[in-house]
């Protein structure tokens, strides 16, 4: 029996629980996710990942406006000043000291993605698994590779490797150069907390990050960052099926004149992953 099979046997699928808003239909493959008004099931995004890769770090959308669009998500702040995690309706800034600060509502974001999180499915994990175990397991569980998912993992982690990036000054360098030269990495052992982020389809390439993108904050809301790697001891993975998308593009001259079609090679994977 493979490790992956064991993993699958060890998880408990809480599909169609009365506590949850919806589930995969039993007799067909339709998503029966609740569509009860407001912006549930809509991913709201500020600017594009390619704009961030180009060094467009000037924000136009306030944290107050962002919070009106969702209670869960991630992003960064004006001038690329740290990693953003949005959880339970609060927005935290994780700076290069590795510490989490409650973001002021007047702060601006040049790139963020949030949703009104409502779990459609929850998976309890009771065995120690690493980040690639979780990635494989989730890809087996997601009902389609053609829609978007907000994902939240609450649990105890035996290791958590995160990073943050410092505020930049004009002329702004490319994101790939900031990450290569200035990112600060933190490795935490035995920490309780929450991972928040998304799995997005490959067709979002150029607009957002295809596949997984996660940020972390501990349960005391004191430290965190952009997730590079982790080992989960036990916890709950909650998945919110997301079929709506709202994009807010910058209107400033830098965005309007940027060459978003520049050949970026593998810059995105360098920026997002633990290479």
Residue with tokens 């807010």: 248
From the centroid of its chain, how far is CA 85? 8
**Minimum distance from residue 126 beta carbon to Zn ion (Å):** 28
**54-93 binders of Zn ion (CB under 5 A):** none
Q: How far apart are CA 275 and CA 273, in angstroms?
A: 6
Which CB, 188 or 226, lies closer to Zn ion?
Answer: 226
* Residue 163 touching Zn ion (CB under 5 A): no
- Please, are residues 54 and 262 in contact by the beta-carbon 8 Å criterion? yes
Please tell me the number of Cα atoms within 13 Å of 128 on its side-chain side: 6
Q: How far apart are CA 112 and CA 93, in angstroms?
A: 12
Q: How far apart are CA 139 and CA 197, in angstroms?
A: 15
* Residue 226 touching Zn ion (CB under 5 A): yes
**Minimum distance from residue 213 beta carbon to Zn ion (Å):** 6
* Residue 161 touching Zn ion (CB under 5 A): no
Binding part of the chain for Zn ion, among 14-22, 176-184, 218-226, 247-255 by CB under 5 A, reads 218-226
**Minimum distance from residue 199 beta carbon to Zn ion (Å):** 14
Which CB, 226 or 264, lies closer to Zn ion?
Answer: 226
Which CB, 76 or 238, lies closer to Zn ion?
Answer: 76
**Minimum distance from residue 226 beta carbon to Zn ion (Å):** 4
182 CB burial (10 A radius; 0-12, 13-18, 19+)? middle
Site string for Zn ion, 124-153 (x = CB under 5 A): ------------------------------
**Minimum distance from residue 83 beta carbon to Zn ion (Å):** 6
* Structure letter (DSSP) for residue 81: -
Token representation of residue 226: 């952009």
Helices 3-10 and 131-141 pack at an angle, to 10 degrees, of 70
Which CB, 152 or 226, lies closer to Zn ion?
Answer: 226
| Interface contacts to Zn ion, rule CB under 5 A | 226
């Amino acid at each position: 029996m493979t490790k992956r099979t064991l993993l699958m046997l060890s998880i408990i699928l809480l599909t169609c629980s009365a506590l949850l808003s919806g589930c995969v239909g039993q007799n067909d493959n339709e998503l029966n996710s609740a569509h009860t008004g407001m912006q549930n099931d809509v991913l709201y995004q500020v600017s594009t990942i390619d704009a961030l890769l180009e060094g467009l770090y000037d924000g136009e959308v306030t944290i107050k406006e962002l919070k009106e669009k969702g209670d869960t998500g991630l992003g960064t702040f004006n001038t690329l000043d740290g990693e953003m995690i949005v959880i339970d309706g609060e927005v935290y800034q994780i700076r290069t000291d590795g510490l989490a600060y409650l973001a002021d509502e007047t702060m601006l974001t040049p790139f963020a993605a949030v949703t009104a999180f409502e779990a459609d499915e929850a998976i309890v994990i009771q065995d120690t698994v690493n980040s690639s175990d979780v990635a494989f397991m989730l890809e087996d569980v997601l009902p389609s590779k053609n829609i978007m998912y907000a994902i939240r993992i609450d649990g105890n982690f035996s290791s958590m490797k995160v990073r943050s990036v410092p505020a930049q000054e004009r002329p702004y360098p490319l994101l790939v150069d900031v990450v290569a030269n200035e990112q600060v990495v933190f490795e935490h052992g035995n920490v309780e907390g929450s991972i928040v982020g998304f799995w997005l389809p490959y067709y979002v390439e150029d607009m957002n990050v295809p596949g997984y993108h996660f940020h972390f904050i501990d349960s005391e809301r004191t430290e965190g960052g952009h997730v590079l790697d982790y080992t989960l001891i036990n916890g709950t993975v909650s998945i919110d099926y997301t079929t709506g998308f709202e994009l807010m593009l910058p209107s400033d001259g830098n965005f309007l004149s940027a060459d978003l079609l520049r050949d970026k090679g593998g810059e995105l994977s360098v920026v997002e992953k633990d290479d």
